[in-house]
Amino acid sequence: MRPANWWRIVALGAVLLLTACGGGVSTPGGEQSFVSGNGIVTFIAAAKRVTAPQVIGIDLSGKPFRKATGGILVVNVWASWCAPCRAEAPTLEQLSKSYAASGVQFVGLLTRDNDDAARAFLRRFAITYPTLHDDKLIAAFSSSLSANAIPTTLVIDRKNRVAARLSGQITVASLSDMIDRVIGEVG
């Protein structure tokens, strides 16, 4: 190797290192990429909340879904190819069952994925709450707390306002705290 070409090898190595740390992921089709969240929770004071879009649609099993009037809704934006989504799926299912008696609904919003892969994901992780595939609905959250990463989890209060967002993989403690704060609100 000629000494004058050492910089090319260093430059190539730097490019490979930087692209490997870019936070994006490609699926077999090479079309998908996402920003992985860092687990930061954003909670909005009740007086500053914005009305959420109406969460309504036909889920992946063909059943209609609508947020219950006066109820609390947890919305999880996910995709089957997303590693943090796979990691958090059992926790979301567990919490959906734990909070059902409190009248808290859970719904998944599938994004950048196909329905067959999503249905396989739901079977694999035994997810019982509904999932809608509606990117327009996800985009409609941009006037409040948008889904800025995959996964993103939103909590919508009893007055149909976005109360909180967790960008990235949820934990039992982080999501329970978000839900409990909204349950505990009066008025």
Q: What's the pLDDT score for residue 148? A: 85
CATH 3.40.30.10 applies to domain 25-183: yes
pLDDT at 91 over 60: yes
Q: What's the pLDDT score for residue 23? A: 37
Could you give the CA distance from residue 104 to residue 158 in angstroms, rounded to a whole number? 10
Mean pLDDT along residues 92-108: 97
Q: What's the pLDDT score for residue 14? A: 32
Strand partners, 56: 66
Global confidence as pTM: 0.80
Please report which confidence band the pLDDT of residue 158 belongs to, taking 50, 70 and 90 as the band edges: very high
At 77, which amino acid appears? V
Could you give the CA distance from residue 151 to residue 28 in angstroms, rounded to a whole number? 19
Q: What whole-number percentage of the chain has pLDDT above 70?
A: 80
Q: For residue 104, what are its two tokens?
A: 């808290």
pLDDT at 26 over 80: no
Mean pLDDT along residues 122-139: 96
pLDDT at 28 over 60: no
Q: What's the pLDDT score for residue 37? A: 64
Mean pLDDT along residues 113-140: 97
Could you give the CA distance from residue 20 to residue 38 in angstroms, rounded to a whole number? 17
pLDDT at 113 over 70: yes
Residues in the chain: 187
At 163, which amino acid appears? A
pLDDT at 179 over 90: yes
- Give the chain's mean pLDDT: 84
pLDDT at 108 over 50: yes
pLDDT at 34 over 70: no
Residue ranges per structural domain of the chain: 25-183
Q: What are the strands of the beta sheet with 152-156, ordered from one edge? A: 40-43, 162-167, 152-156, 72-78, 104-110, 131-133
What's the 3-state SS for the chain? CCHHHHHHHHHHHHHHHHHHCCCCCCCCCCCCCCCCCCCEEEECCHHHCCECCCCEEEECCCCEEECCCCCEEEEEEECCCCHHHHHHHHHHHHHHHHHHHHCEEEEEEECCCCHHHHHHHHHHCCCCCCEEECHHHHHHHHHCCCCCCCCEEEEECCCCEEEEEEECCCCHHHHHHHHHHHHCCCC
Q: What's the pLDDT score for residue 186? A: 79
Q: For 37-88, how does the pLDDT look when each residue is reduced to its tens digit (9 = 90+)?
A: 677 899 999 999 999 999 999 999 999 999 999 999 999 999 999 999 999 9
